[in-house]
Amino acid sequence: MKRIALPDGTMVPALGQGTWNMAEDANRRVDEITALRTGIDFGMTLIDTAEMYADGESERLVGDAISGRRQDAFLVSKAYPQNASRARLPKACEASLRRLGTDRLDLYLLHWRGAVPLAETIEAMQRLVDAGKILRWGVSNLDTDDMEELMAAGGQPCAANQILYNLTRRGPEHDLLPWLAAHAIPAMAYSPVEQGRLVADTGLQLLAAEIGKTPAQLALAWLLAQDNIVAIPKARRSAHVRDNREAADLVLSTDTLARLDQLHPRPRGRVPLEML
């Protein structure tokens, strides 16, 4: 498994597991827990969740999945922007820790930018680090100008920026991804197969068939071929996790990469960072 370095030198797998839209159907709970555990077994130990997902039920699901093997998982969760203040962030973090059944988060992210000043959020995050509640902090959905402002406010410890990035959302390649790379801050790519829509992409289907892979595997392999990127696909079933894991071993040829670039070229000009 390819690994990506965080700014403090910690290595994380380039292919992790997302949980957006999981824990919303009790009938799927056993399958979803099994899928997450299967992913850990396959080395996809970075698990991303958020207090927003299923109103906290996603965190409870992850907590059940890692029960008895917390040491095997790199836990990432995210706080609502309205909870990113000095007064509210400690409470939000404690609630997430309770739902996850752990005493610390490996990475805690500001889910998106809100009304709380970045400087205040940085201060609140650093207090959580000092208290041992989180080991490091980062952000999500911040564009290049936001990152510049974050740095100006004292955000040098920022460990990651989680963004919408995939074959059909290539705007970050113009300035945000180069900026992050220059500052040794990894990008975490959420919705790496565009919430499943890339699976139905005709051009991707044809190209994937030629190399004996699925469109989703091809889309993931394209991301994993890049430096400084962590992809966090969601999988509700163990079979889907196995398919995702195979993408980490797929080495794309120069010709395949060129054809993917033709199918989904990056925008000619800068595009503001998109969100889902």
Positions marked active-site: 53
Alpha helices in the chain (DSSP H): 29-41, 57-65, 89-100, 118-130, 144-152, 176-182, 202-210, 215-224, 238-247, 254-263
Rounded Cα distance, 171 and 115, in Å = 25
Rounded Cα distance, 41 and 55, in Å = 27
Phi and psi (nearest 5°) for 13? -65, 145
Rounded Cα distance, 246 and 230, in Å = 15
Beta bridge partners of 48: 76
Dmax (CA) for the chain in angstroms is 55
Look up tokens 């699925």; give the residue.
Answer: 214
Rounded Cα distance, 228 and 177, in Å = 9
- Residue burial 43-59, b: 16+ Cβ < 10 Å; e: rest: bbbbbbbbbbbbebbbb
List Cβ<8 Å contacts ≥24 apart for 147-152: 147/176, 147/179, 147/180, 147/183, 147/185, 148/179, 149/118, 150/118, 150/122, 151/183
Beta bridge partners of 162: 140, 188
Q: How many CB atoms lie within 10 A of CB 76?
A: 30
